Amino acid sequence: MKRPAARLWLGLLLSAALPLALAYADPIEDFYKGKTITSIVPFGPGGGYAIYNQIMARHLGRFIPGNPAIVAQFMPGAGGITANNHMFNLAKRDGLVMAMVSDSVALASVIDADKIRYKVNDFIWLGAIERVNNVTAVRVDTGVKSFDDLKQKEVVLGGSGPGSPTSLLPALLRWMQPVKLRVVEGYEGINPMFIAVERGEISGMTVSWTIFKTLRKAWFENKFVTPIVQFGSRKETDLPDVPLALDIAQTAEQKAVARFLASNVDIGRSFIFPPGVPQERVKALREAFDKMVQDPEFRDEIMKAGFDLSPATGAEVQEAVAQATKLDDKLISLIQTAIASAK
């Protein structure tokens, strides 16, 4: 008689404990435990995007329940458009595929609409690591010392593709002023362009000011190159004498287009997930990202790599993208005409 009673009490205890155990179960941890997240890089190895991604991959998993591994997949092409199209149309929507996007992802969605197979506002934005101006710099031996010199001397810049700031921003300058800038496209990322500048194959390039300072600081210290113009809504603190494209714009139309092209700074070096990832995973991933960018170990590695850190939350970047693409048809037509005429 005692054994059935004991079994009855045991059954009652297990029944009472089951809801408690379920309450403590973490479906996010259960999903990510033992898994690997693929992080797509829109340019080739060796450049700033690759390095940012590598540092992120070493740290983000520590803050995601289940601690998944993160591995890079390089997908260069069309200045980042290839990776963006892949993320929107082909990537799995389970929270196991993410991407670092070009800061011109919103610009390209307007300017190169015929090549775009994504809706930029439908991406899920994880957050940004850094937001900084792009800068056009050219070799000193070209004889170009200022923006006005570009009206007299032709300079050949490198570009990675139509959707990249390396191509879009010089096109803006050609549209605004009669400058002699030519862009040779097809470089798969920043590193091949750096090498091409050093070999004299091209005379300059347009990239993030942080990337310039981090990967080619000696260029500026040794007066090998000089910064000519910067793209953003305000000047970098250590470039007070380098004009903004907004300063160069003369008409109201030019200022409107320049202001739109400066919006990429607010998007910055950001990470996305494709649309459709379950909301509870999005919440956990965004929380993990926000913790990572405040983590001393992560921040120390970023600083040691020579990068700056000016992070933004996923919600902040999502709003920046929405604002950047909130354009009336007249301005969209003007932007497309301006860039097309300058290519």
Q: Do residue 152 and residue 251 come from a single domain? A: yes
- Residues 141 and 258 both lie in one domain: yes
Question: Does one domain contain both 155 and 97?
Answer: no
Instruction: Give start and end residues of each alpha helix (H) in the chain.
Output: 2-24, 27-32, 48-59, 81-89, 105-111, 165-176, 190-199, 209-215, 217-221, 245-248, 252-261, 264-267, 279-294, 296-304, 314-324, 329-342
Report pLDDT digits (tens) over 194-210: 999 999 999 999 999 99
| 228 shares its domain with 300 | no
- Domain boundary among the residues 219, 248, 263 is at 263
Residues 292 and 234 in one domain: no
Count: domains in the chain: 2
Q: Is residue 231 part of a domain?
A: yes
Render pLDDT for 58-78 as a digit per residue (tens, 0 to 9).
999 999 999 999 999 999 988
- Does 225 lie in the same domain as 204? yes
* Domain span holding position 230: 134-263
Whether residue 107 sits in one domain with residue 44: yes
User: What is the chain's pLDDT, residue by residue, as a tens digit (343 residues)?
Assistant: 445 555 555 555 555 555 544 445 799 999 999 999 999 999 989 888 999 999 999 999 999 999 999 999 999 988 899 999 999 999 999 999 999 998 889 988 888 888 899 999 999 999 999 999 999 999 999 999 999 999 999 999 999 887 788 998 998 899 999 999 999 998 988 899 999 999 999 999 999 999 999 999 999 999 999 999 999 989 999 999 999 999 999 998 899 888 888 888 989 999 999 999 999 999 999 999 999 999 999 999 999 988 889 999 999 999 999 988 988 899 889 888 887 876 6
310 with 196, same domain?
no
- Asked if residue 26 belongs to a domain, the reply is no
Do 228 and 318 reside in the same domain of the chain? no
Residue 128 pairs with which residues in a beta bridge?
270, 312
Residues 231 and 273 in one domain: no
